[in-house]
Amino acid sequence: MQKLKPNNLQLSHVLYQVKDLHSSVKKLQDAGFIVQYGTEKSKAYNALIWFEKGVFVEIYQNSGLPFYVKWMMKIFGYQPVLNRLEKWKNVGEGWCEWSLESVANDLNTEKQFFMNENIKFKFHKATRKDIHKQKLKWELLMPNNIDFPFLMSAYVPNPRPKEINHPNGIKGVKNIIVGTEKLDINLLNRLLPDQTGLKLVEGDNLQTVEFYDSELKIENVLKDLSF
């Protein structure tokens, strides 16, 4: 049984899907978060809540893929990726995904691990320009099992702010709460031996996020509940 390098993977980020990105960003700003669009505001499909360390939060608007893109993805064997995106879409508005991140700038070790274990996956090299017009590069590994979190490499260059002070005083994510109903626990334990910040519970999928020293919930802010 192959082992990964010690502490090669860590918790990365969590995705919360919304129907209207700009109004959601405004609500989060009103709740005291500094929110950074993933790219130029007019073109953005996502926005990020960074902390100085640990898990970050991505607010994601599913704009949908054109038919011809879906068709091409099916032709080239990317149906599992489409299935994952469809799962996110079916969530509607709410927490839809979580991910693991390599401490390295690539996923070579993880790709080899998955191949050696005959675990099917799709691999993709991604790029985008952030709001500072700097080109970010990273790698993605999406297991065909859509109930398992996807993997990503570290961003190059690293876009995380060295210092960030949210007006609401929140310093970071304490725990992400994930249901074990469909989760491959054995695989998770092998990939992520240090599960600090991950709380496994009954149920399915990513359920919520707990912040340090705060009862505030992203879902309450975005659903206009009391926070």
What's the pLDDT tens digit per position in 182-225? 999 999 999 999 999 999 999 999 999 999 999 999 999 998 75
pLDDT bracket for residue 36 (50, 70, 90): very high
User: What pLDDT shows up at residue 81?
Assistant: 86
Q: Which CATH number fits domain 9-222: 3.30.70.20, 3.10.180.10, 1.10.150.120, 3.20.20.20?
A: 3.10.180.10
- Is the predicted pLDDT of residue 4 greater than 60, yes or no? no
DSSP character string of 25-81 = HHHHHHTT---EESS-GGG-SEEEE--SSS-EEEEEE-----HHHHHHHHHTT-HHH
Q: Which of 31-40, 63-72, 119-128 has the weakest average pLDDT?
A: 63-72
Burial of 181 (0-12, 13-18, 19+ CB in 10 A): exposed
pLDDT for position 188: 97
Q: What is the pLDDT of residue 69?
A: 59
pLDDT for 130-144, tens place per residue?
Answer: 998 999 999 999 999
User: For residues 145 and 80, what is the distance between their CA atoms, to the nearest angstrom?
Assistant: 8
Neighbours of 151 (CB within 10 A): 24
